[in-house]
Structure 1
């Protein structure tokens, strides 16, 4: 009988300096997976009721006490959880209790590429613990940690997000009213005009009949909902404008939104989205802000294969969409700027899809230029300021 001379490899280093804990959060149960000093390579798993912070902290205290009994030392607890539906409130609770806590982007964690891979909360919990240990060992590329916003930053960006939701609802009501009338041969009715009620009473079908009574009542109820949406949009916009004024008054320098609105072609809504969705954060370099917006390139290189897959789309979708819209408007309102000249030079000999590809590249360059303008005061080359 042959004997393998190779020593048995340990799956996990047991010489730990902390208690590593992962949390798998769900609506009913929180699964707690931990690896403690002195417990070998075996991970322990416990569950607590969802939202029961007292029970969670009691479980952490038990883990610390067991580790102290085994080793005679007191170890800190390091916790990791995935960013998801629960937001950041549990992360803030742990930080308030003096516990080192991390929130990880779940899409950045490497998983098996088999077609049918096993996936359970227990497997995911162990993978999170291993990811956390690798991150604390100094492997920054093992995952992407999420920078949690402060409660104030998280709350004030609700204004631009609520306005976006209301605008979608407004479009839905307008299209529904137009669709109902189009089926009767009416094509010239505009529900957003101030005389929508009076105009509704005067409408005639395409074959010369007055609008049917039930249809008119249905459209009237649609107008009630539309007018409520319009009122709420005005309220949200007023709160947003007041926020910009307050930010400018409280600081020694103008708010980022006010700085952006000094450029021709950038209005209140674009400035609000850029500030509240992206430029309120700190970025070390241009690559970080391009990656945060999901506008960073994604190469595919293997051997002789070397091609681009397009932008990553892994960042903030609201910021990315706004920047692409702003890039098109930048060509119209800032035609003499260096970015507009660069765009025209790249597409002058091409047509069709190349414009849609290059506008994304221009959106990335424009975002970096606006970030430098807000943080460093570097005006984009050739850009025109708004006249008083």
Structure 2
């Protein structure tokens, strides 16, 4: 059983790289082991059953083995946002950096914030697979855009033919991923329900729905302000003293905002309440950019509410049937 935040008495900082993991248990002493399950299991065994919180950074997948071992040993863990840790270190005016130093900073970061750090939980296998498929699709679409731009001025017939062949290959891979994503969603009752609700929102099509399911799995559990902030469409104040600047939308999960923009354009061209709201904003002399951002915010808020209501209804039916 994992320790509750109030029970945590020691922090284990773990700096992860491709080949090694450096551990620091709060003292100056550090130890480096191979980033392999057996080596990590041996190094972490002494902390099993203790009131220790392990803190590591998200490294794009290199931390997966470590998190798996921590889960196996029932050691609670927090996977930190590298940007937050970097800002924390910078607040002390420190610049020195190597694996042992980073491990000590992670331990100190955990000591200062142990009671507020969310505990890492393994993702549902289906959800994890969906995230990987959607991420790969985004990569291939970005490659396709790059190749399409290169094709506009290839400067050589041979290069142009090569680019066209590559574009055709990318199209095949994207279509295969689309089919795999649709199959995966269709085989999951929960994902299918959520996708159905998302597709009912004006502007949300077969590309944005899986993207929202993969990138914002919290949909349906957040309030409208939280979900708008995650999507990067929440207006943040930038005031100081008597100065009141225009509020800007920043932050959020970077994959969502461009897709929401396309969805807003599609919704505003249709015959639906969002198009009516968009025209009303323009009539009120709002700039088109501001009006579109407002529609983007409405889309994600409506999507969140519909998923929430559908999941609640499904849970109620499940309780009745039980």
Q: Which category describes the TM-score, using the shorter chain as reference length?
A: 0.7 to 0.9
Offset of 1:57 from its aligned partner?
3.1
Q: 2:113 aligns with which of 111, 115, 135?
A: 135
How many aligned residue pairs are there?
Answer: 302
The answer to whether the 8 Å contact 2:77/2:119 transfers is: no
Query: CA-atom RMSD, angstroms?
Result: 3.2
Following superposition, the deviation at residue 237 of structure 1 comes to: 1.9
Tell which has more relative contact order, 1 or 2 (C-alpha 8 A, sep 6+).
2
Separation in 1, partners of 2:41, 2:73: 9
Structure 1: state its 5+ residue gaps: 1-15, 36-42, 65-73, 184-214, 379-388
The yes-or-no answer on 1:362 pairing with 2:295 is yes
The structure with more helix, counted as a fraction of residues: 2
For residues 203 and 160 of structure 2, what CA distance do their matches in structure 1 show? 37
Q: In 1, distance between residues paired with 2:142 and 2:250?
A: 26
User: 1:162, CA displacement in angstroms?
Assistant: 2.3
User: Who is 1:257 aligned against?
Assistant: 195
The alpha carbon displacement at 1:238 in A equals: 1.7
* TM superposition shift of 1:325: 1.9
Shift of 1:102: 0.9
Cα distance in 2, alignment partners of residues 170 and 116 from structure 1:
42
Q: For 1:227 and 1:355, how far apart are their aligned partners in 2?
A: 36
Give secondary structure in 1 for the equivalent of 2:288.
helix
CA distance in structure 2 between the aligned counterparts of 1:254 and 1:230, rounded to whole angstroms: 25
- Aligned pair 1:155/2:129, yes or no? yes
Q: CA separation in 2, counterparts of 1:80 and 1:243? A: 32
In the alignment, the residues of structure 1 paired with residue 18 and residue 217 of structure 2 have an alpha-carbon distance, to the nearest angstrom, of: 33
The residue aligned with 1:374 is 307
Q: TM-score, normalised by structure 2?
A: 0.78
CA distance in 2 between counterparts of 1:265 and 1:296 reads 19
Q: Deviation string for 1:35-75 (max 9, x for gaps)? A: 3xxxxxxx1432223413333333334567xxxxxxxxx73
Find 2:95's aligned residue among 107, 118, 123: 118
1:71-96 CA-partner distances (Å, limit 9, x unpaired) = xxx73321011122325442232112
Whether contact under 8 Å (1:26, 1:50) holds in the other structure is no
Work out whether residues 91 and 102 of structure 1, in 8 Å CA contact, stay in contact via their aligned partners in 2.
no
Which residue of 53, 66, 77 maps to 1:101? 77
Aligned with residue 345 of structure 1, among 266, 276, 280: 280
**In terms of Rg, which structure is larger?**
1
Any gaps of 5 or more consecutive residues in structure 2? Answer: 1-6, 312-322
Bigger shift: residues 115-124 or 166-175: 115-124
Seen in structure 2, the aligned counterparts of structure 1 residues 115 and 132 have a Cα distance that, compared at 3 Å, is closer
Q: 1:223 to 1:254 in 2, by over 3 A?
A: closer
